[in-house]
Amino acid sequence: MPYLWYADTPGVPRTWGTTALRWSGLELEALVGDAVMVSTVTTSLTDVASSDTALRAFLHGLPGVDRVGADQRAAMLGTRSIKTTAKAQAIDLAISMVDLTTLEGADTAGKVRAMCTKAVRPGGDAPKVAAVCVYPDLVPVAVEALGGAGVKVASVATAFPSGRSSLEVKVAETTGAVSAGADEIDMVIDRGAFLSGRYMKVYEEIVAVKAACGAAHLKVILETGELATYDNVRRASWLAMLAGADFIKTSTGKVSPAATPPVTLIMLEAVRDFRDATGRQVGVKPAGGIRTTKDAIKNLVLVNETAGDDWLTPEWFRLGASSLLNDLLMQRQKLATGRYAGPDYFTLD
């Protein structure tokens, strides 16, 4: 089976090569060692989903992930330290990237209103967060509470967190959330279908939900903790992007492990390479288990060193979290005053 590889040398444009790339009957000759810009394979990518066979061949032709290498690189990048002014800027950037989230069965309208107030005015002169994320039935509450303050309303959908319902139900839930005012939809893929190799089913569901989103952005949750291998994380990332995802997201936050640094690294590599191949930029959202300022800064370093600073904006990178914001605010106050404030000085999320 033909395989895909890329040469990644600092200062040299990323290239793809093989003795022959054949996807869906399309062929691109590329002698090993020759420089073939990624954009030259774009026409092949457009036909990758023309059949189940073609999609499977493409996904299984992606380069395998070196698990040891990914773990070591993520660990190495996690040791980078940021001090003083740079740390203060990183904290504010992280705050602006937060999707402040509540996804509990006990959620109430009052809790969502309080969360929206905090999203717009986290504390002092701290920047507002990127979005609030709630269940579909609470979207109207969030829309009203935010009142055009510039914070997006995100809604989970498609039978969150399991993803186990009919396509008709998933589309109807998405349509309802968008009609209620959601700016963004966080959908979950059918992991059972993906793991059993029914890639076209997953692809077609994403395409249908994307169509139902209209102008709303679509974040596709891979639930990486259930995908078993790093190779599957890479395949699921490409599958979601090929189907039209605006963002790929690690987790629902309901499964452990969630947003581990190596998984985020692999997804960042995927969006970087996807843009090189197609010209279309896709965002990344790690979610679940990101609780401290140190965790947030590690993610920012991963973004900068893997995908590049084009992704270092709330438009292209988000942090899905419920408790992270308070720690960012505490660290922010420590930098400004030299004193830590206890958690009692901040509202509970």
- 36, 89: one domain: no
Pick from 21, 41, 63: which residue ends a domain?
A: 63
Counting the structural domains of the chain, the total is: 2
- 99, 179: one domain: yes
Calculate mean pLDDT across residues 245-269: 96
In tens, the pLDDT along 186-233 reads 999 999 999 999 999 999 999 999 999 999 999 999 999 999 999 999
- 163, 276: one domain: yes
* Residue 127 near residue 149 (C-beta atoms within 8 A): no
- 185, 261: one domain: yes
Q: Average pLDDT, whole number, for the chain?
A: 87
- 181, 319: one domain: yes
Which of 22-26, 103-107, 109-113, 327-331 is predicted with the least confidence, judged by mean pLDDT? 22-26
**Catalytic pick from 285, 295, 298, 327?**
285
- 245, 338: one domain: yes
197 vs 191: CA distance, rounded Å: 10
Pick from 63, 90, 109: which residue ends a domain?
A: 63
pLDDT for residue 235:
98
**Catalytic pick from 249, 276, 295, 298?**
249
In tens, the pLDDT along 44-97 reads 677 898 899 999 999 999 999 999 999 999 999 999 888 888 999 999 999 999
- 19, 166: one domain: no
* Residue 180 near residue 196 (C-beta atoms within 8 A): no
- 29, 82: one domain: no
- 59, 75: one domain: no
74 vs 65: CA distance, rounded Å: 13
Residue 141 is part of a domain; what is its CATH number?
Answer: 3.20.20.70
In tens, the pLDDT along 282-310 reads 999 999 999 999 999 999 999 999 999 99
Q: Which of 140, 131, 134 has its CA nearest to residue 104?
A: 134
Q: State yes or no: is 285 an active-site residue.
A: yes
pTM of the predicted model as reported, rounded to 2 decimal places: 0.87
- 196, 331: one domain: yes
- 46, 84: one domain: no
Domain membership of residue 33 as a residue range: 5-63
Q: State yes or no: is 118 an active-site residue.
A: no
pLDDT band at 344 (very low <50, low <70, confident <90, very high): low
- Judge whether residue 20 has pLDDT over 80: no
- 36, 117: one domain: no
Pick from 42, 63, 84: which residue ends a domain?
A: 63
129 vs 92: CA distance, rounded Å: 10
Q: State yes or no: is 334 an active-site residue.
A: no
pLDDT for residue 120:
97
Which two tokens mark 170? 């998933």
Whether residue 122 is preceded by a cis peptide bond, meaning omega within 30 degrees of 0, is: no
In tens, the pLDDT along 31-40 reads 233 333 333 3
**Catalytic pick from 183, 186, 276, 295?**
186
Which two tokens mark 311? 């992704």
